[in-house]
Structure 1
Amino acid sequence: MSFVTVSNVFQSYGRRSIIERVNLQADQGEFLSIVGASGCGKSTFLRLLLAQERPSRGEIRIAGATPAREPGLDRGIVFQRYSVFPHLTVRENIVAGESLRLGWGRFFGADRSAARSRADDTLARIGLDHVADHYPATLSGGMQQRLAIGQALAAKPRVLLLDEPFGALDPGTRLSMHDFLQDLRAETGMTVFMVTHDLEEAFKLGDRVLVFDKPRWDPHDPSRYGATITYDFDARNGGIPFQTLKEETHVFQPT
């Protein structure tokens, strides 16, 4: 049984169709990279997986559970723009990420000391141990994004959703974050969905690479049709298609 099942999902805002007929099955622990042109529904799809939005049609199930009505602790997300707690120090942000697993419980005594030690290990891995006692406002944008990624990973969600998480990082830091993400994924068995515009990154990190595109197009009404998964590549097998889903592109012709 698939861990994540997406069944005939459509999403539209009013008359504007964003995605349509999206079907997908993913196993637990798989890493799925998502690529495609800007505006083709990639981030919308992540919000649906998060349960931040509910689909217009169809359903998404995690581990066979009924479709979620709102975000839960089993799903974590890192957006394109860093988002951390400004009133907490860098170390406290990582501890807060771990505490999410307790339903925002707090650590006390020996448990708190252990949590702070784990946070320091995480900060060393992402290159922020030297600013552990600083506040996010004192960090550069790239450092804040590293912190946001570390915080999300510290919570060890069952499904991790990444929306262009490495775009603001310099090449060296980007590579170290790739290693950190792959190591933590191996340790936790989390399932990962990552939106990226970097094809090399998509195939490097992903077990599968999903391509979102619009197979139907109406030049007189560009919002008439939504995007769907047109290709599903097996990145573990030299890019051989895991499943080819592309339909013949249809341009609407008025009668």
Structure 2
Amino acid sequence: MSAIKIDNVWKEYGDQIVLENISLDIEPRAFVALVGPSGCGKTTFLRMLLGQERPTRGSILLDGEPLPHEPGPDRGVVFQRYSVFPHLTVLGNVLLGKEMQGSRLTAKLFGAARRQAVDEARTLIAEVGLAGSEDKYPAQLSGGMQQRLALAQALIMRPKVLLLDEPFGALDPGIRAEIHVLMKRLWHEAPMTVVMVTHDMREAFTLATRVIAFERPRDRPEEKERYGAIISKDITIWPPRRAGEASLIRPDRDGPVASSGKHRDDPVNCP
């Protein structure tokens, strides 16, 4: 399960109110897009879901339990800037989470445990379209390939919740469209809830099951510190999208997507 309940959450920094009275129920395996003007608290909200920030008031529950006050393996995250380690290969980047989990002192696995983790990492690398690039370093990959790597790095821990902070904003339109297809497939196949911050309304309505708009209703300079952003709109996409199910109306766009195994930003096309 991966249900999230946000109950009367406020976020304040001293006298400045960033978010006020946010209440929201996110059902398991939903794909929620957060939209709104820059500076209205979308990323702050995402950081609270990750555990990097704590609500000033209110509560956040994951499957009925209080959200831990620090990031954990139950929540994966992908940022706009590629959050991969430049000194590690593709395989090393994907393996790192498993190695840290298996041995916090040495960050290394040995024997059967390492072989199992390597097999799992290689399978995931292939699923995101990077088969054959296991020994390459991030600097040898295109932007789209680095973002595929960041997705694999987050998914190796099998998180209940995947948090995306404008993850595709730096990609050119063609590569972004291919990443959207990949993201849909991963969401359909993996038992996880996705929450994504984006400024691209087309992206929000292409991927999400639900679009949540944050807005400051009082945004004059003298009001910015005294009033925070609220949820101004909560839009459920129609026809409904459900993880693992094809839409009766648009199965080609809103159903599970088979991997073709070939991508525009594969090494053969991006030397």
Which runs of structure 2 are paired with 1:21-32 in the superposition (5 Å)? Answer: 21-32=21-32
- Report the Cα distance in structure 1 between the residues aligned to 2:183 and 2:3, rounded to whole angstroms: 20
Q: Identity rate of aligned residues, in percent?
A: 50
Aligned to 1:18: 18
The counterpart of 2:152, out of the listed 141, 150, 153, is: 150
Q: RMSD of aligned C-alpha atoms?
A: 2.5
The counterpart of 1:233, out of the listed 214, 232, 235, is: 235
TM-score calculated relative to the size of structure 2: 0.79
Which of structure 1's runs of 4+ aligned residues deviate more than 6 A?
none
- Report the Cα distance in structure 2 between the residues aligned to 1:132 and 1:67, rounded to whole angstroms: 34
Query: Amino acid of the residue matched to residue 42 of structure 1?
Result: K
For the 8 Å contact 1:6–1:23, the answer to whether it is kept is: yes
- Report the Cα distance in structure 2 between the residues aligned to 1:65 and 1:182, rounded to whole angstroms: 28
| Alpha-carbon distance, 1:132 to partner | 1.8
Query: Amino acid of the residue matched to residue 56 of structure 1?
Result: T
What do the CA deviations read for 1:67-94 (whole angstroms, capped 9, x no partner)?
A: 3221111111111211112332111212
Aligned to 1:56: 56
For the 8 Å contact 2:15–2:225, the answer to whether it is kept is: yes
| Alpha-carbon distance, 1:107 to partner | 4.4
TM-score calculated relative to the size of structure 1: 0.83
Long gaps (5+) in structure 1? 240-255
Instruction: Determine helix, strand or coil for the equivalent of 2:224.
Output: coil
Aligned to 2:249: none
- Report the Cα distance in structure 2 between the residues aligned to 1:97 and 1:170, rounded to whole angstroms: 29
What do the CA deviations read for 1:33-89 (whole angstroms, capped 9, x no partner)?
A: 111111110000000011111011111111111232211111111112111123321
Aligned to 1:34: 34
Aligned to 2:265: none
Aligned to 2:253: none
For the 8 Å contact 1:73–1:100, the answer to whether it is kept is: no
Residues 181-190 or 103-112, more deviating:
103-112
Residues 181-190 or 110-119, more deviating:
110-119
Instruction: Determine helix, strand or coil for the equivalent of 2:170.
Output: coil
Query: Amino acid of the residue matched to residue 22 of structure 1?
Result: I
State yes or no: 1:89 paired with 2:89: yes
Query: Amino acid of the residue matched to residue 23 of structure 2?
Result: N
Query: Amino acid of the residue matched to residue 81 of structure 2?
Result: R
